[in-house]
Structure 1
């Protein structure tokens, strides 16, 4: 190797190290800003990496991740396609599958996640997380048995994986095996304190009529949120959704969610719409739910939120359509909200069983 080539290689190595350092610093800063969007910094770092080495599949994945976070789904699709072409593996397939799911291509998404699992990850934990993602897709489609079957190898291979335990809790809750669900959530808490498990345990107590016990878990959610804030960890949108779901501290829910009021991210827009709706801001709820439903988002919870917002507006036809969609996709999409959806649909003059079919998924 001559001196010119050595200098070129050294430059590429230094530049790539600098870009990786920038990406890591940006990720750290994002986590410290308490929910403030900082996706552009890691995206810029990844773009530098891609410019240095156009064959670096990881760089395209990181760019796509940042675009997903920002709601730039068309751009994310192109970068994920490049990643898959360069490195067809669990990481690239699972990214592409999650984008397909979010944009309504449900069958294609499931097939790509199945392909990711067959490809296998670098370790058992990685593959288990992919199985948890696929299980939640099947769950949202109301396929409880396939979802549970998908989780079985993950529970065996990675019994302390938080996504796997939370997914197992949701599936067993939907099957009304509340005792098993509680055990999975307790196991999740043994791995790490987390809002999802505390809230789910409270919901399990609520549906069993144990309101005082439920309140203890809900207070633990709030205590964990306070601890996260003190530690500089952002959980703003997750907490805003919790408050809205449980009709608690709704003004605070708005305060937590509003930094994302212009978001194009459909999941963030869904949370924002629900928070506005619960706080009584119908106009803003209607505007936000339109963004949440864009790009073909068929999430049952989002459909439920859209139905409730439409009912409040007086658009009863749309309300029936969205509520029926939520229940037809998954009649047990939420311990607390599925019963509300059924009651509202009956109140609007058409029971869940005779409801019109949901919008056809773009499979």
Structure 2
């Protein structure tokens, strides 16, 4: 018998009207157990519902009415359940309808999982960490409701909903930069549903954040071997592109992401992949190509913050500073991401506009506080900021803790640079080498990483390696930073030409 403690009642057989039957104590105990456990699930779900937006007063929850207004936005629903990007307006509509659904049917584990995934995607795209606690509550409620229902019906071995919720928690942990938790949730999801492709991307990000590149490549190989359907194929190619970039395979990364953009099925999805292509072009110093892709993405999804900020980045590289400032400010007006504030602050600083730069750094600090309140680990960003614009010793302390917890390449580079800024160049070179040596995992071709290593080597009077890495930084991307690219050129000029020495015997 299906027990429905909430929502409209459903006519069912009357226990009183049934003909007498021989007593079966075990059957009645199983029935009672189901009632109690299902009621408990309803209680858990009801508690989570109270944490959502309050329902309108004096209105009883009801089943959503039929008709176009009650239909869940198909594109957003497909996106959040399939791991592909969605437009912010569609996400907002989906969230509203899923909130209504879980109020009416608080035992719907799938609805809770979809709501959590939608909150997560909305927070990720809008750079609003306030969405993350809501996403976590919804995803955990999905697990609790499904667990209670499984206990009430031990004959149901279905674990799909749990795999969806666990994958969502893994993706949430990745966005919060909690890679150990992401690994834990991702591996649990993979164990429950090894053929579900959406279980792999969060796990790949977790392995990458932990510096376990062998595991990340292995997970990608398994993902590529699943032969995902046509709808999922662009997202799989985008994931492959990210791994190829980290391995230094730039051409393969561009090819995969370009194909993903061509095969995307919605404007928002295509815009996300074109933004990625633009970022890859900017990393190679191809300013015009980057700008073209960012602007194409903006035409497809005008609300996309990442494309707006990317446009500012490309315009700054082209020397169109006024337009770059306008683009950055437009991105920050939509969704003020602290990393965009840092880039705009450094652009102002490079132009000698120091009060404007300080205003952006204050905005960065305010946004970091909000992100931390939403459960985001911002130690990397804080360390990067403090190393260049604050207290390098504080940066070292924060980044050393971060390295012990999750030793990824970004952290190695940031820690090496913080140590250099704090005056410990010998130890700084150890971490800069990790970030740039393929043998140690640093396969990504980053102008910033090469610049950091070159400057450290210059301070250690290692002129040959310093000259090589500074030249490499400018060869990878001559415009990688409005502050650091000029510093790299000046340092390289100061090192002079390669001395004309006889070949060794």
Q: Judge same fold: TM > 0.5, yes or no.
A: yes
Q: Which has the higher contact order (CA 8 A, sep 6+)?
A: 1
The one of 395, 406, 415 aligned to 1:253 = 395
* Matching residue of 2:241: 97
* Structure-2-length-normalised TM-score: 0.62
The one of 172, 179, 182 aligned to 2:325 = 182
Change in 2 beyond 3 A, CA 1:312/1:38: farther
* RMSD value, Cα: 2.4
Change in 2 beyond 3 A, CA 1:257/1:37: farther
* Structure-1-length-normalised TM-score: 0.85
Q: For the pair shown, which has the larger CA radius of gyration, 1 or 2? A: 2
C-alpha contact (below 8 Å) 1:39/1:69 kept by paired residues: no
* Matching residue of 1:22: 166
Counterpart mapping for 1:2-17 below 5 A: 10-11=156-157, 13=158, 15-17=159-161
* Matching residue of 1:279: 422
Change in 2 beyond 3 A, CA 1:89/1:245: farther
Give the Cα separation in 2 of the matches to 1:244 and 1:44. 35
Give the Cα separation in 2 of the matches to 1:29 and 1:119. 29
Give the Cα separation in 1 of the matches to 2:488 and 2:386. 19
Give the Cα separation in 2 of the matches to 1:201 and 1:61. 31
Counterpart mapping for 1:319-358 below 5 A: 319-350=466-497
Q: 2:220 aligned with 1:80, yes or no?
A: yes
Change in 2 beyond 3 A, CA 1:348/1:152: same
SS at match of 1:298: coil
What is the CA deviation profile of residues 68-112 of structure 1, one whole-angstrom value per residue up to 9, with x for unaligned ones? 222222322232233233226111111111111111111111111
| Structure 1 residue runs without a partner (length 5+) | 1-6, 352-363
Counterpart mapping for 1:287-326 below 5 A: 287-295=430-438, 296-326=443-473
SS at match of 2:302: coil
Change in 2 beyond 3 A, CA 1:264/1:255: closer
Deviation at 1:255, TM superposition (A): 2.9
What is the CA deviation profile of residues 307-361 of structure 1, one whole-angstrom value per residue up to 9, with x for unaligned ones? 011112221111000000011111111011001100100111149xxxxxxxxxx
The structure with the greater share of residues assigned to helix is 1
Give the Cα separation in 1 of the matches to 2:436 and 2:261. 29
Change in 2 beyond 3 A, CA 1:9/1:290: farther
Give the Cα separation in 1 of the matches to 2:210 and 2:371. 23
C-alpha contact (below 8 Å) 2:170/2:202 kept by paired residues: no
